[in-house]
Structure 1
Amino acid sequence: MEHGPTFYAVAVVAVLISAVSKGGFGSGAGFVSAPLLALVMPPAQAVGLLLPLLMLMDVTSLKSYWRKWDWRHARLLMIGGVPGTLLGWWLFRSISADGVRLMVGAMALGFVLFQIARQRRWLRPPPGDRGTPAGLFWGTITGFTSFVSHAGGPPATMYLLGAGLDKTTYQATTVIVFWFINAIKLPFYLALGMFTAESALVNFILGPIAVAGVFIGVWAHDLVEEKLFFRLTYALLAVAGGKLIYDALT
């Protein structure tokens, strides 16, 4: 497909928000990139286009948070992410473009509802260490939702917020977890034919924005109030998710 000014206007915003989130805000808003891009290109291509950029963000973030993570919780999410990735691959190869569009849209709206429920304290993760089974369970959900639409943030959050981690340890743990999960997704995306020469060119153009956004996020980690940043992304997710569901059903 042809990538004109409208595409790049949306793509720059999507990649920048995702990179800033990954660099400084626990990857929570990073999910906005897939629903936004799916508005201007086929959803499966949007998900495939984003993976190399997310991997670039992961590598850029690692240096700033190196070994600041909680390894026990990270390891459980990473191990659980393997069967979740396999499940996502099995489902992804079996559904139509509208099916992918519907899933991405539903996850976008579900993410917004999840955040509203958290903020209003309707949904609270159980406090304390919930043990190995909980970590593996949430890791599986994280791997699955990450594979389908790079939406692994909410299930990882549900597990990590109950672990009592400080802000930096939490951020560092999400960085190493999604570095691993995105890496193991790569061969499955290749098998599904989700990368093209055209998408590689777009990745090359957007790569500097991804790197710059991560550094902006690292800088903003201790300086910027999170509420305004997340409110913007939730609004974008609600609009994009609703539009994708409408398009899939009509």
Structure 2
Amino acid sequence: MTPDFWLFAAVGFAAQLVDGALGMAYGVVSTTVLLSVGVSPANASASVHAAKVFTGAASGLSHLYYRNIDWRLLRLLTLGGVLGGVFGAYVLTSVSGDAIKPYVVAWLGLMGLVILWRAWKGTRPRVFSWRSPFPLGLAGGFFDAVGGGGWGPVVTSTLLGAGADPRKAIGTTNTAELFVAAATSAAFLGALLSGHWETAGLRGLLWSLAGLIAGGVAAAPIAGWMTKVLPHRLLTWIVGLLVVALAGWQAFVLF
């Protein structure tokens, strides 16, 4: 095993611990690290989504065990997320995703402030409309594929901003991510095999990918338990602060 394996195993463990417990940040953290070592955006997104298939399966099983899943919400989010992820992968392999990043950052910042307001006011959750999860999944899947991360920040933050139960929102979003990641990975593979996407350097990322998978799978059971036991209001505060921090960091990088 190369040093890259152990580095990315640590990155995968930390990212999945946050993602599984708070419903976001695995893709953002992992993609940021890959980009920082010179990996292209398309290669980074393809690698992270391949890792998410394995970490998402482990995370989904953990949340299933702890009963953190809303099944109706899961179906609607998954359907939208799969379609959005496939389209986002096509866009990323065709044009640069930098043009839409400012809009994603603005959305994250707004949702983070809404969540913090709810935590401060102690607003009780209300039932989330069945009409909204499909387009939300569509947007989350698209931004996730284009940015190499964003499913959790977009979907979880919006669900919480709408008053969803944090435990159900996080568990359902994490479980749906398995199917979204599988569809997005298949879209990247299809683009590569069809000649639509010509890339180099993926083979050199195999040890990094293995590390992301190993670390993420190891952290998934712990993260599911954390979601189950953390108090509702504390969880809302943590998610809100994380979203605002992510938006602030991305804004600093962009501007």
Report TM bin, short chain: 0.7 to 0.9
The structure 1 segments of at least 4 consecutive aligned residues displaced by more than 6 Å after TM superposition are: none
User: Deviation digits for residues 123-143 of structure 1, max 9, x if unmatched?
Assistant: x9x9434233x2221121122
User: Deviation digits for residues 140-191 of structure 1, max 9, x if unmatched?
Assistant: 1122112212211244235533776544333331122111111111111113
Q: Which residue does 2:129 correspond to in 1? A: 130
Q: Which residue does 1:242 correspond to in 2? A: 252
Asked if structure 1 preserves the Cα contact closer than 8 Å seen for 2:59 and 2:174, the reply is yes
Q: Which residue does 2:49 correspond to in 1? A: 51
- Please list, as runs of the form range in 1=range in 2, the aligned pairs for 1:71-90 lying within 5 A after superposition: 71-90=71-90
SS of the counterpart of 1:66? helix
AA partner of residue 190 (structure 2): A
Q: Which residue does 2:181 correspond to in 1? A: 182
AA partner of residue 210 (structure 1): G
* Aligned equivalent of 1:213, options 209, 219, 244: 219
In 2 relative to 1, CA 84–151 (structure 1 residues): closer, same or farther, beyond 3 Å? Answer: same
Deviation at 1:240, TM superposition (A): 5.0
Q: Which residue does 1:152 correspond to in 2? A: 151
The two structures, once aligned, show a CA RMSD in angstroms of 3.6
SS of the counterpart of 2:85? helix
Deviation at 1:237, TM superposition (A): 5.7
Deviation at 1:19, TM superposition (A): 0.3
Asked if structure 2 preserves the Cα contact closer than 8 Å seen for 1:81 and 1:144, the reply is yes
AA partner of residue 81 (structure 2): G
Tell me the distance in 2 between the aligned counterparts of 1:15 and 1:237. Answer: 21
Tell me the distance in 2 between the aligned counterparts of 1:216 and 1:47. Answer: 25
AA partner of residue 212 (structure 2): L
Deviation at 1:239, TM superposition (A): 3.2
Query: Which stretch of structure 1 is more off in the superposition, 42-51 or 190-199?
Result: 190-199
AA partner of residue 169 (structure 1): K
Deviation at 1:209, TM superposition (A): 1.6
Tell me the distance in 2 between the aligned counterparts of 1:8 and 1:101. Answer: 30
Query: Which stretch of structure 1 is more off in the superposition, 61-70 or 72-81?
Result: 61-70
AA partner of residue 176 (structure 1): T
In 2 relative to 1, CA 234–161 (structure 1 residues): closer, same or farther, beyond 3 Å? Answer: closer
Asked if structure 2 preserves the Cα contact closer than 8 Å seen for 1:84 and 1:143, the reply is yes
Tell me the distance in 1 between the aligned counterparts of 2:205 and 2:82. Answer: 26
Tell me the distance in 1 between the aligned counterparts of 2:32 and 2:100. Answer: 10
AA partner of residue 56 (structure 1): F
AA partner of residue 81 (structure 1): G
Deviation at 1:85, TM superposition (A): 2.3
Asked if structure 2 preserves the Cα contact closer than 8 Å seen for 1:21 and 1:214, the reply is no
1:39 aligns with 2:49: no
Tell me the distance in 1 between the aligned counterparts of 2:6 and 2:98. Answer: 20
Structure 2 residue runs of 5 or longer lacking an equivalent are: 193-198
AA partner of residue 49 (structure 1): S
SS of the counterpart of 1:183? helix
In 2 relative to 1, CA 15–101 (structure 1 residues): closer, same or farther, beyond 3 Å? Answer: farther
SS of the counterpart of 1:46? helix
Tell me the distance in 1 between the aligned counterparts of 2:185 and 2:179. Answer: 10
TM-score by length of 2: 0.73
Structure 1 residue runs of 5 or longer lacking an equivalent are: none
In 2 relative to 1, CA 156–38 (structure 1 residues): closer, same or farther, beyond 3 Å? Answer: same
